[in-house]
Amino acid sequence: MKTLLTYLAVALLIASNVSVNAFNPNLPKGIVYQLSLNSNDLQKSQAVIQEYPYLTRIIKDNSSVYIFGNYPSFAAIDSVRTLLEKEGCTKLEVIAYKDQIEISVAEAISVQYKADMLTDEATEERTSIKKISTREVNYLLDVQRSGLKHYYALAIPVKSHETVDKLLEQIDNEQVIEISTDNDTYSIGKFEKFEDVLKARQKFISSDIKDVFIMAQITDEKIDIDDAQNFAITIQAMVNDLADY
């Protein structure tokens, strides 16, 4: 196993070749999450971190910062961040990359979720039940843990002209806010309240449009602590019974 000194030596060698908030050619392709750690907390982090993959050192705001990790999901990196905070580490930041290019955490969460929801397995799962799927619940929990503001929309994959006709019959006050041409998915509505998007979801399902799932349109603004706690309570209730709407 590599020692921390070995990781630090490697970090110093490649630091000059990696710029923060841009492009990191050392990372694997796909979605990758990393943590930004204040150099003063590096020793504390060893109580949690055994290895520091893709460790780099940068100077940010006149302070030395280490960036490391190869986490495949927001849930995975968030659990590590929580453990580090318990050890007294501060100013921890999550950084997301897609194909080695930095993107917002909000975008990374949504890209992974949408790709997962459009698989054949996920489609079969949600069209066979009326309840919100476990995948949707886990995604909404990730959104809450990210601490970012968001509103809700319904995502409806359109695979035939018949589906388009049914969809247009149901749209009244809702708006088509986005059409993804790469996978023919319509994003419908802009709902501020979670309860409202649940009601809209039920309306589409009752109209024989079975393939519909909830999306959170996430911004990069931080959510108020009270709002995050209230949302967590709502989601926890869903975890208990998978929101039988």
* Full-model pTM: 0.77
- The pLDDT, as a whole number, for residue 65 is 93
- The pLDDT, as a whole number, for residue 40 is 93
Of the CATH numbers 1.10.150, 1.10.3470, 3.40.50, 3.30.70, which one belongs to the domain with range 4-103?
3.30.70
- C-alpha count within 13 angstroms, C-beta hemisphere, residue 105: 24
Beta strands in the chain (DSSP E): 31-38, 56-60, 63-71, 93-98, 101-103, 148-157, 176-180, 185-191, 213-222
User: Helix, strand, or coil here: 144?
Assistant: helix
- The pLDDT, as a whole number, for residue 98 is 95
- The pLDDT, as a whole number, for residue 176 is 62
- The pLDDT, as a whole number, for residue 230 is 59
Give kind and range of the element (H or E) at residue 94: strand 93-98
Mean pLDDT of the chain: 80
Residue extents of the structural domains in the chain: 4-103, 106-241
Name residues of the chain where pLDDT drops below 50: 1, 9-20, 239, 242-245
- The pLDDT, as a whole number, for residue 126 is 83
Q: Distance between CA atoms of 78 and 183, rounded to whole angstroms? A: 29
